[in-house]
Amino acid sequence: QLALQGLDLEGVRRILADEAVASRLHQAAGGNPAALFAILDRLPPPREAEIASRVDELSEVGRRVLGALALADRPLPVHVVAQALDLDAQAVTRAVPALTGAGLVRRALDPGVGDVVVGLARHEDGELVCQRLGEGELAAVHGALAEALESWGRATPEEVLTHRLAGGVYARAAE
């Protein structure tokens, strides 16, 4: 998966300077400056606002699952997410369709894991999702993820350690 960045100001200027783009804007606005600005006002909201809106529409379980996936920073089997959140796997499974429908999560069969995994649809949304969680919740989920990943047995020691440290579980991190 290739992460693409938005255009910088110079990139926007180059696109707007293109004759075909200027012609399309002129035609759409009929040459009317007020109509041109109205077109700009109808543009979709920034990604941050879009994510916030989608997250706010989720159930409590959906928000928790999304937060755990954002902190995990990689796709995980449902049972690992469920263990980290102290939920049954069925509750997590029932939350996944709303998350995929909102374009926030994707499901895939991971041959390396030998199971269906769920993960963020767009890696860069993870930071935006984490901003919607409180500091205490972030630490608690990191700590629980460390335990769930270790129990699963397929996470690297570095991954488990990273979550332990982020969760403030220093005694276990030293083991």
Average pLDDT (147-157) is 97
pTM for the whole thing? 0.76
> Does pLDDT of 6 surpass 90?
no
> Does pLDDT of 81 surpass 80?
yes
Q: Sign (positive/negative) of CA torsion 88, 79, 2, 123?
A: positive
Average pLDDT (26-42) is 93
- pLDDT tens column, 97-150: 999 999 999 999 999 888 999 999 999 999 999 998 888 899 999 999 999 999
